[in-house]
């Protein structure tokens, strides 16, 4: 029972964390010109925006599914650290501090998944199981 609960909570955590990135990626598509101008106002070339959308949307969906979980978590954590440094620091006022700490907490959660993996209810685990069965149980 404990293993089932752990698996469900790890999967739920992935989905909830990924929702922020998926929503942000979709939002950037919807407000493409405005987002590119905002990025440029902070010294980031607007030409980078398609890569940002790809990472947020594609990486977020992959992370939610538990596909390349460790890599996606690490990539999203590094991206988030860069976004904090560029767009959040220094925090302005009380709400700015709350936003900064929320972003930092997200990085902490992503680091957890980068180290631990996505759990047993992840596509990674399914792929790992298939590799083991094809190799007679000797594959990692």
- How far, in Å, CA of 89 to CA of 96, rounded? 9
Q: Can you list the positions of beta strands (E) in the chain?
A: none
- Do 13 and 106 touch, CB atoms closer than 8 A? no
In order along its 140 residues, the chain shows pLDDT tens digits of: 789 999 999 999 999 999 999 999 999 999 999 999 999 999 999 999 999 999 999 999 999 999 999 999 999 999 999 999 999 999 999 999 999 999 999 999 999 999 999 999 999 988 887 877 776 655 55
- Do 52 and 82 touch, CB atoms closer than 8 A? no
- Do 59 and 21 touch, CB atoms closer than 8 A? yes
């Amino acid at each position: 029972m404990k293993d089932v609960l752990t698996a469900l909570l790890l999967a739920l955590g992935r989905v909830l964390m990924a929702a922020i990135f998926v929503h942000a990626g979709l939002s950037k598509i919807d407000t493409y010109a405005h987002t590119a101008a905002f990025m440029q106002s902070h010294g980031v070339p607007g030409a980078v925006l398609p890569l940002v959308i790809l990472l947020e949307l594609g990486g977020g969906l992959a992370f939610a599914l538990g596909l390349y979980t460790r890599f996606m978590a690490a990539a999203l954590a590094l991206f988030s650290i860069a976004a904090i440094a560029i767009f959040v620091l220094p925090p302005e006022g009380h709400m700015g501090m709350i936003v900064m700490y929320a972003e930092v907490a997200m990085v902490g959660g992503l680091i957890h998944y980068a180290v631990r993996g996505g759990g047993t209810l992840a596509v990674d685990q399914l792929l790992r199981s298939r590799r083991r069965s094809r190799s007679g149980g000797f594959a990692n």
